[in-house]
Amino acid sequence: MKILLVDQNLVDPINHQKWRLLAAKPGVEMLGVSPAIWIENFRRLQFDKRSVENFPIVSLPVHWPGKENRAFFTRGYSRVIRSFRPEIIMCYEEPFSLFALQTAVFRLIFARRSRLVFITWDNLAKGHHFWYRPSWFYRLVFEFVMTQADLLLTANEEGTEYYSAAFPNRVEKLYYGVTLRVPEGNAEPPLKELGNLPADLFVVGYIGRLLEMKGIDTLLYAMKLVDPSVRLVIVGSGPDEERLKVIAKRISLEEKVLFLPAVSSAQVREVMNRLNVMVLPSRTTKMWKEQFGRVLVEAMACGITVVGSSSGAIPEVIGEAGLIFPEGDSRALANAIEALRTNRGLLKELSAMGIERAKLFSPESFADRLNLLLRRMV
């Protein structure tokens, strides 16, 4: 089974594990295609071929790196398809993206007999109401790509329900394979700012992009309502950073909140090791709602108890292994944090449940199920 894998996330080695496991399956020959440069969470990443282990990865230049739906390969992609002659082209990209359009067209021209697979995280647009401009263009791309797709993988239940009805027999749910063993080694210096937090403090954390739709202001207002001893660590970068710092100052939280810029994947464990609770307070907007929440799985795998809002797929990911609060409700969030601070038995119980639940989203589960789906399709 010759698989050509196209995935923007291959640029970061932490995302290789699930694909290495698939490549190790009997009878699988896989070749990866990665952007040479990508911008993820406001950090510039460059592909390093030394990170490749059991399957080769070709890095190609892209136009608009970091623009998930507008980016496309500028050269070399058609040559890779012609020379590899895949049985399956696994385009791990949205079916309305230019990566998907480019792949579908090249498959028609250079590999007509191959099977074509895409992934969608969508739980809002549902193939029609795209908020990206021009919306009519993305809708046309989606419609064309889906005429070519042999299989569409969905990353959440809401998307699965819609697309299964729209495209019978061509849709399967596949949970994202999150690397659970966050690298211990770290060539970068320790985050000295974390050392300023006394060991006995109860610490709440947020790790991710600083965007308005992430609802971090709800978390700040909740911090005003919890016990004064609680501290908050916000790790990330983004256009909402200054607004959040202004809010923290206005409500006198400067001494209780530590802002850190986006950290490397290897530094995530260092941050998580200092947290008691991880919060994902996303808030649904007209243009967006939470599609998965990978940081929740990473936290659960590290034994960190999680609290999430009711936005999108967050309750689906957390299940019974954490606490859910109504999105935008800072009082309810504060109550959840206080319940965990004052009831260490509950904190420990949810931590253990989270470790078990994280296995559902493991690279092993991902590779096993995808291998089954691809073999069934071929």
The predicted pLDDT at position 186 comes to 47
Q: What's the CATH number for 192-360?
A: 3.40.50.2000
The CATH topology of domain 2-177+362-377 is Rossmann fold (3.40.50)
Placement of tokens 């409500």 in the chain: 251
Around Cβ 55, how many Cβ atoms within 10 Å? 18
3-class DSSP state of 142: helix
The predicted pLDDT at position 224 comes to 96
**What is the phi-psi region of residue 99: left when phi exceeds 0, alpha when psi lies from -120 to 50, beta otherwise?**
alpha
The ranges assigned to domains in the chain are: 2-177+362-377, 192-360
Amino acid at 49: K
Decide: 53 and 21 in contact? Cβ < 8 Å. no
The predicted pLDDT at position 188 comes to 60
Amino acid at 226: V
pTM here? 0.88
**What is the phi-psi region of residue 284: left when phi exceeds 0, alpha when psi lies from -120 to 50, beta otherwise?**
beta
3-class DSSP state of 96: coil
Placement of tokens 């549902």 in the chain: 126
Domains 2-177+362-377 and 192-360 fall in the same CATH topology: yes
The predicted pLDDT at position 181 comes to 59
Through-space distance between the first and last CA atoms of the chain, rounded to whole angstroms: 8
Using CA atoms, how far apart are residues 378 and 270, in angstroms rounded to an integer? 43
10-residue mean pLDDT profile of the chain (378 residues): values are 96 91 96 94 84 88 93 97 97 96 97 96 78 85 95 94 90 89 54 76 95 96 96 94 96 93 81 93 91 93 96 96 98 98 96 95 95 93
**What is the phi-psi region of residue 86: left when phi exceeds 0, alpha when psi lies from -120 to 50, beta otherwise?**
beta
Short-list 223, 269, 277, 271, CA closest to 250: 223
Q: At what angle do helices 98-110 and 135-148 cross, to 10 degrees?
A: 40
DSSP 30-79: EEEEEESEEEETTEEEE--GGG--SS-EEEE-EESTT-TTT-EE-SSHHH
The predicted pLDDT at position 134 comes to 86
Decide: 345 and 82 in contact? Cβ < 8 Å. no
